[in-house]
Amino acid sequence: PVTRAYTTACVLTTAAVQLELITPFQLYFNPELIFRHFQIWRLITNYLFFGPVGFNFLFNMIFLYRYCRMLEEGSFRGRTADFVFMFLFGGLLMTLFGLFVNLVFLGQAFTIMLVYVWSRRNPYVRMNFFGLLVFQAPFLPWVLMGFSLLLGNSIIVDLLGIAVGHIYFFLEDVFPNQPGGGRLLRTPSVLKAIFDTPEDDPNYNPLPEERPGGFAWGEGQRLGG
């Protein structure tokens, strides 16, 4: 449901711009307009617009839907509240970083964040990029950054997504399993009350990363190639 809701919002926003119901100038990230003129909606709408309909838009939508869905159905299965909390945490960090970099739309960086988290949680999956490159999943965000560079796009967006994705991955998957470490990210109970429902299948076997002790790094969780 989270994947469908976010993807649908992105498509509807792009359609509204194409139909000239709204303009990108009403959507982009602008700290002065947000904090001095109280145009709070810009905190959300800058994540919903990926540019006019074209190759870049379709490319981003495919990657967004694919990896957001695999995360939601994989390591976040039955934990919708935790998934929503990752959205909020990632969005908050990107917004803070956005105050210091010249980026007006952060949706692409958010997509790279999702790709990064999925790739680190599925380190043994082999990827095939347009039939040209074969590599392990953890290299996928860097391959995408190289592809952006070849297209002449700024890599600041990709680096921001990778940085935020790594911060989340470290705090959620790595630090709790370190000597003296602990869980610093805890999903608020209000989100759990809203989004989480009891598991219907009593025979459901949780994925390795959902078991006590964190992700079983010795097991390859293959969710697609």
| Whether pLDDT at 81 is above 60 | yes
Is residue 108 one of the residues assigned to a domain? yes
- pLDDT tens-digit map of 129-183: 767 778 888 998 998 888 888 877 778 989 999 999 999 999 998 888 888 777 8
Lowest mean pLDDT among 2-11, 77-86, 158-167, 176-185: 176-185
Give the domain range for residue 47.
Answer: 1-195
Is residue 126 one of the residues assigned to a domain? yes
**Entry pTM:** 0.82
Q: Which residues on adjacent β-strands are paired with residue 135?
A: 127
- Structural domain tally of the chain? 1
Q: Which residues on adjacent β-strands are paired with residue 133?
A: 129
CA distances from 17 to 22, 29, 110, 217 (A): 5, 16, 20, 44
Is residue 167 one of the residues assigned to a domain? yes
Is residue 220 one of the residues assigned to a domain? no
pLDDT at 103: 86
Is residue 116 one of the residues assigned to a domain? yes
> Which has more pLDDT, 70 or 177?
70
- The pairing of strands 126-129 and 133-136 is antiparallel
pLDDT at 204: 53
Is residue 216 one of the residues assigned to a domain? no
Is residue 143 one of the residues assigned to a domain? yes
- pLDDT tens-digit map of 22-60: 999 999 999 889 888 999 999 999 999 988 888 888 988
> Which has more pLDDT, 68 or 219?
68
Q: Are 159 and 145 in contact (CB under 8 A)?
A: yes
CATH number, domain of 85, equals: 1.20.1540.10
Is residue 134 one of the residues assigned to a domain? yes
Q: Which residues contact 117 (CB under 8 A, 6 or more apart)?
A: 71, 86, 165, 168, 169
